[in-house]
Amino acid sequence: MPFLSSELALRELILMSIAFVLCSVVGLERSIHQKNAGYRTHVLVGMGACGLTLVSWYGFGAGIAGHGAGIDPTRIAAQIVSGIGFLGGGVIFKGRNFVRGLTTAATIWITAAIGMSVGSGLVVLGAMLTVAHL
């Protein structure tokens, strides 16, 4: 069982910590510029995406490999993308001659991508996404 492995627990702790740091950087940048979605939002989105990715992989994927047919850990990742699209849509406002919130929606999406990358063990990709955002 996955929850009995101290090695797995340490890996989860390290990945969640990395996701926290990277998403904090994005959130701090947004807070410094006083944007609608700031530090807490970006950290929550990134940590949630990382946590759900870890659950997807270790809870439903590799943790039970060979114990059932049709198990696909990528299904949760697809739902994260859809959910973040819905969340991002909520911060976009359209007026007569302007549209606001597109960049905020994009940063929420990239924060989710950072969390998902780190949660799936692709730490360098998560770091590069953070650098690309900055």
Q: List Cβ neighbours of 46 (8 Å cut-off, separation of 6 or more).
A: 19, 20, 22, 23, 26, 111, 112, 114, 115
pLDDT of residue 34 exceeding 80: yes
**Prediction pTM value:** 0.84
Better-scored residue on pLDDT, 69 or 129: 129
Q: Provide the token pair at 64.
A: 């039970």
User: In the structure, what pLDDT confidence band is assigned to residue 67 with cuts at 50, 70 and 90?
Assistant: low
pLDDT over 90 for what percent of the chain?
Answer: 45
What's residue 68's pLDDT? Answer: 53
Select from 3, 26, 8, 17 the least CA-distant residue to 133.
26
Spatial distance between the Cα atoms of 55 and 119, rounded to a whole number of angstroms = 9
Distance in angstroms (rounded) separating the CA atoms of residues 122 and 41: 22
Please state, in angstroms and rounded to a whole number, the distance separating the CA atoms of residues 77 and 91.
22
> Do 43 and 20 form a contact (C-beta atoms < 8 A)?
yes
Give the span between the Cα atoms of 100 and 35, in whole angstroms. 11
10 or 59: which leads in pLDDT: 10
Report whether pLDDT(85) > 90.
Answer: no
